[in-house]
Structure formats: C-alpha cells, structure tokens
A = this chain, B = another copy of it.
Amino acid sequence: MEYTVQKLAGMAGISSRTLRYYDEIGLLKPARINSSGYRIYGRQEVDRLQQILFYRELGVSLETIRDIVTGPSFDAVGALREHREKLLTKREQLDLLIANVEKTIAAAEGRINMSDKEKFEGFKQKLIDENEAKYGKEIREKYGDEQVDRSNRKLMGMTEEQYARLEKLGEDVLNTLEEAFATGDPAGELAQKAAGLHRQWLCFFWENYSSEAHAGVAQMYVDDERFTAYYDRKQPGTAAFLRDAVLIYTGMADNDNA
C-alpha cells in the first residue's frame, strides 16, 4: 500500500519527474518522506492522483486542478463549465485556422505550371493575406467572420481573367477618383462615376451588395487610418471625398437626397 515515485508513476502511467513536479508545485505531496529522503505515497495520494489525472485529461491547468482537489468545497462544476467555454473558443479558432489552411492549400494546388499561374495565385493569396494581416481583425469584428471568409473564398475562386478585371477596376476607381477629387464636388458626375466603379469593385468581394454596407465601408475608409493612408496617397482628403461621394451615391447622405 506504499509506493515510491517510480512505482506510483508506473501505475499511473506518468513519469517520476511528473510526480516530483507535482510535489514541487504543491499539487500532490507524498504521504511522508522516509529516512533516506524518498517520497512515499499512500492510498489517499493514489486516489488524489487519479483525480488529478482525470482533470488533466480534460485539459484543465494544474493550478485549477489544485484549486479543485485541495478545496473540497471548490466549485468544480463551475470551473469545468468555464473550462468548457475556453475549449469551445479554442475549437472555433482551430476551425478557422483549418479552413484558412485548406483554402491556401486548395489555392496552391490549382497551379499546373509554376510560372504565371503560380504568380497569379500568389497575387490572389497575397491580396487576401495583406487584407487579413492589415485589416483582418477589425473587418472581422465589424462584418463578421462569415462575411470575410465568403469574400476570401469568392476571391480565391476567381479566374485569371476575372482577377485582371478586378485589378483594372481597382485602378479605374483610383483614376476616376483622382479626377473627381480635382473637381471638388462629391455629387458631381465624375465622383458618382467613381462611386459606381467602387460599387462594382466591391461586388467582386461581396455576394450581395447593399447600399448600407457600401456606405459603411466608405465611412471606414475615413475612420481607419490605414485605409485613409491608402486612398490619400496622392492627395490628402481623397478618402473623405470618396466617402462623401459614396454617401450621395447610396442616397445615405443626410444633407440632401434622402
């Protein structure tokens, strides 16, 4: 009924180092220490180790386990419920990761020859990548993960031709915007044309367009300095100008046509 470290470790399927560590952190102390300094464990310790290992199996941290097993009145179920929430969150994140990895693999697998096609895929991926790295969190917070993922999927599913059109459209938006900015009138013809092109550009990412969302994005271009920096590259104020144009375009400006 008395066990040395190695015997107990063998029984429990753990290492003696683990037992010493548990002793060190005060999670499981031996019943006594014999004259030679050996750790001697008894029945109670075996039982307790069972408990510890059980919670450990559940992924509970050793500190929490200590709270559970040392305090008999400790709310073990509450701790477990909390732990469950953590695990669920973890799983969600993991699912996202897996989806992203698979998306990346799928994108990369689609290449046949390693030249243009690869570069093209690389570009698409890079675009997504950059978006994710730069704006990922904020956009996901604002528009939800599903939206963003759908958007990325749609992008990845594009053909080279579609992608070329997307790029051209992006340039058109910038060019038209530049011209329009010179006029100074967000309600003018050029500005509205820019807003329209911007709408088309967005539709490459969105599955269904809504003027509210469009206006929201335009506002974000002003609110988020990184977007602002992008649109203001050539002329400071361009982002705000685009927002104003879009607000009018979508009929959501509060000064005139409601």
Which A residues are within 8 Å of any B CB, using their own CB?
A: 12-13, 50-51, 53-54, 57-59, 76-77, 80-81, 83-84, 87-88, 90-91, 94-95, 97-98, 100-102, 104-105, 108-109, 125-126, 129-130, 132-134, 136-137
Set of chain B residues within 8 Å of A100, measured between Cβ atoms: 57-58
12 A-B pairs within 8 Å (CB atoms) are namely A13-B137, A51-B129, A53-B133, A54-B125, A57-B129, A57-B132, A84-B98, A84-B102, A84-B105, A87-B94, A87-B98, A87-B101
Interchain CA distance A132-B12 in the complex, whole Å: 11
Pick from A57, A77, A84 the residue with the most CB of B within 10 Å: A57
CB distance from A258 to the nearest CB of B (A): 38
Known: A94-B90, A95-B91. A101 touches B80 (CB 8 A): yes
Set of chain B residues within 8 Å of A57, measured between Cβ atoms: 97, 100, 129, 132-133, 136
Contact B94 A133 (CB under 8 A): no
Interchain CA distance A50-B136 in the complex, whole Å: 13
CB distance from A77 to the nearest CB of B (A): 5
CB distance from A139 to the nearest CB of B (A): 13
Set of chain B residues within 8 Å of A88, measured between Cβ atoms: 98
CB distance from A51 to the nearest CB of B (A): 7
> A105 is contacted by which of B50, B80, B132, B136 (Cβ under 8 Å)?
B80
Set of chain B residues within 8 Å of A84, measured between Cβ atoms: 98, 101-102, 105
Interchain CA distance A23-B230 in the complex, whole Å: 28
Contact B80 A126 (CB under 8 A): no
Interchain CA distance A75-B54 in the complex, whole Å: 41
> A101 is contacted by which of B53, B58, B126 (Cβ under 8 Å)?
B58
Measured CB to CB, the nearest residue on chain B to A100 is: B58
CB distance from A126 to the nearest CB of B (A): 6
Pick from A51, A81, A97, A125 the residue with the most CB of B within 10 Å: A97
